[in-house]
Structure 1
Amino acid sequence: MEKKIITISREFGSGGRYIGRQIAAKLGIAFYDKDIILKTAEETGLSEEFIEKKGEYSPAKSIFSYAFVGRDSTGISLDDYLYTAQRKVILEIAEKGPCVIVGRCADYILRERTDCVHVFIHGDQRVKLERICALYQKTEAGALKLMKDTDKKRSINYRYNTDQEWGNAQNYTMTLNSSVLGYEKCARLIMEAAD
């Protein structure tokens, strides 16, 4: 494996986490998603629930929401502290060996490494809605709201922490439409890019 680290950013409902898990299993390498939450909780003493809720999502659906979060005397907010802690965990994970890392700005955090493939998985709205309805037992209206809210908060969080646009093809090695390609082909293309 030429590129030993694969980062996957994804639209909600696109199957990015599933694709990442399949790649890790096929390559026999570590898979990090929720594990980052656990490791960050251990390092910071913050609750797993708090980290899961705040670690990848903005406080609200506007970049201005960060202006209203509490800050300590040095100007650091709890969101800033959490990002710094997650960044440290991701950098440590990358040093351990080959792995797949899902979300949490890992593509940006590891951008200077030459042994990474950074992927953005997106999909067609109709297909994503069907998947969300099935996985989360939502009505179509509920699934649409959940999808839009989740992606909006991920996008804002990404912009705040990286000053980059989430989903912009220039930030990734490749972007793939899982609705068109299917999960298996996406996994195969990513593995080929890493080889």
Structure 2
Amino acid sequence: MKYAVITIGREHGSGGRLLAQKIADALNIPLYDKKLIHMIASESGFSEKYVEQAETKHTSSFLYNLYFDSTNLPIDDQLFIAQSNVIKKAAAQSPCVIVGRCANYVLRKRTDCLNLFVYAPMEERIHRITEEYHEQVPNKDIHRYLEKYDKQRAAYYERFTGERWGDRHQYHLMINSTVGLDHIADHIMKLVKESDANA
């Protein structure tokens, strides 16, 4: 299989996680999203809640980064290293879909990765997080909430990769999810199967 691993970066509320599930189901391969959090927690010793929030709760505060242990690394660096190790192990085991966690960067030396970035208009994202994700955000703050969420995710990505989150040069495909998640999943599945046949 030419594209053994599919990584998906996404704007919050764009449907990237839902698309990942559809692709994994269609190709009958593992999905590493929530499962990845458990694996990283086991590898690092940090709590699952801490791991889950790392992508959007990253802080570069002076006091935060003064915390070191015997590795002489700040705890956010320790977590990223553990996370990278888990992602590499998962990708080495079998074809899979990996959501977020800078996976496209972590696996950048592999030639069998298809890296996607999913985005959507603000109105579509607001509808999805309220109607599908059922997130509890006051209506007047939803726009600000999404902007802050993406800003934190971008800061995390840029902190550990040195690259700009959402930059087209970091991905093979950038997809506006308003064309339909099922439609996108069908095309991705076709692309993967055709690449396998031509490999």
Query: Above 0.5 in TM-score?
Result: yes
- What is the deviation of 1:58? 4.5
The answer to whether the Cα contact below 8 Å between 2:8 and 2:99 also exists between their aligned partners in 1 is: yes
State the alpha-carbon separation in 1 of the partners of residues 117 and 61 from structure 2. 25
Cα gap change, 1:30/1:131 in structure 2, threshold over 3 Å: closer, same or farther?
Answer: same
Q: Which residue of structure 2 lines up, in the alignment, with residue 30 of structure 1?
A: 30
Number of aligned residue pairs: give it.
189
Matches of residues 50-69 of structure 1 in structure 2 within 5 Å? 50-54=50-54, 56-60=55-59, 65-69=60-64
**Considering only aligned residues, what root-mean-square deviation do their CA atoms show, in Å?**
1.6
Q: Which residue of structure 1 lines up, in the alignment, with residue 181 of structure 2?
A: 183
- What is the deviation of 1:99? 0.4
Matches of residues 168-179 of structure 1 in structure 2 within 5 Å? 168-179=167-178
> What secondary structure is seen at the aligned counterpart in 1 of 2:56?
coil
AA aligned to 1:3 is Y
TM-score, with structure 1 as normaliser: 0.90
The percentage of aligned residue pairs carrying the same residue is 37
Counterpart of 2:115 (choices 118, 123, 134) is 118
State the alpha-carbon separation in 2 of the partners of residues 25 and 149 from structure 1. 31
State the alpha-carbon separation in 2 of the partners of residues 24 and 117 from structure 1. 13
State the alpha-carbon separation in 2 of the partners of residues 53 and 107 from structure 1. 19
> What secondary structure is seen at the aligned counterpart in 2 of 1:112?
coil
Counterpart of 1:99 (choices 86, 90, 96) is 96
Q: Which residue of structure 2 lines up, in the alignment, with residue 39 of structure 1?
A: 39
Stretches of 4+ aligned residues off by more than 6 angstroms: none
- CA offsets, 1:68-111, max 9 Å, x none? 52242765211000000000000000001110000000000011
State the alpha-carbon separation in 2 of the partners of residues 164 and 68 from structure 1. 25
The answer to whether the Cα contact below 8 Å between 2:26 and 2:189 also exists between their aligned partners in 1 is: no
Q: Which residue of structure 1 lines up, in the alignment, with residue 162 of structure 2?
A: 163
Unmatched 5+ residue regions in structure 2?
A: 194-199
Cα gap change, 1:78/1:30 in structure 2, threshold over 3 Å: closer, same or farther?
Answer: same
- What is the deviation of 1:120? 0.2
Unmatched 5+ residue regions in structure 1?
A: none
